[in-house]
Amino acid sequence: MGRIACFALAIMAVAVNVYAARPLDTDDAGTVEPGKYEVDLGYDHINHNPDGICQSPGFQLKHGLSARMDIGVAFGHETWKDAEGSTVSWGTTPLAVGLKAALLREHKLLPDISLSAGFETGSNAWGLNAIASREISGLGLHLNLGYNGSGVALERGSYGFGLAAEYPLFEKLRLCAELNSELLDDGHEVLGNSGLVGGSIDLGFGSWDLGGRLFDKRGPRWQAVTGLTIGF
């Protein structure tokens, strides 16, 4: 069960939400500026006690194609260890490719709205995600509604939901939190719920983030995430 949960987390974080602003899995409606690049280096430590742990470093690169569209690629590496600390399995995750387009921006009454799509190379898995973002008195709010398709006949997909908030506490410090949920597309089975609290610090050349995630009884015990984001 631990290996399955670790793999599922990697799919959710890499294949579908290629664009999420670390340490959040919930995406925002913004896109990378045209001609610019953004690199994310991340590390996840997922505790499945008493079954063991999963360690997963990852890499993501995004490029702004236009004022309203960017493209991204991502991949990671997973190491699964049992309760005694012995390595059970390790290997790279599939390369994920994503495209995000801004549909509505800077409207006085309506939120910014974007649509992102992603897929994995070497498989038929794919995802679509509708994103709405709004800032109210400095508080940034983001809502995600997505669908993850298995790409396999007779194998059900799932709906994903994410609600996040972020707030600049000081000039260089940003705090954030989110709630996530995933359920089968027939609506009869919840696959998992989780919540994250974290933040990031502006380092000038980029930002460093740190967060912790707790799961309900269907997921791991907890997950620690950290990473570095650099734009150029």
**Contact in structure between 36 and 64 (CB atoms under 8 Å):** yes
d(CA 177, CA 195): 7
Let me know if 137 is exposed, middle or buried by CB neighbors in 10 A (0-12, 13-18, 19+). exposed
pLDDT surpasses 50 at 104: yes
Indicate the CATH number for domain 2-231: 2.40.160.40
Asked whether the predicted pLDDT for residue 200 surpasses 90, the reply is yes
Supply the mean pLDDT for the chain. Answer: 90
Query: What ranges do the domains of the chain cover?
Result: 2-231
pTM of the shown model? 0.89
Q: Which residue has the higher pLDDT, 212 or 150?
A: 212
Give phi and psi for 11, each to the nearest 5. Answer: -65, -45
- Identify the pLDDT of residue 17: 53
Report the alpha-carbon distance of residue 22 to residue 14 in Å, rounded: 12
**152 neighbors 126 (Cβ within 8 angstroms):** no
pLDDT, tens digit (0-9, with 9 covering 90-100), for 11-50: 344 334 567 889 999 999 999 999 999 999 999 999 988 8
C-alpha span between 7 and 19 (Å, rounded): 19
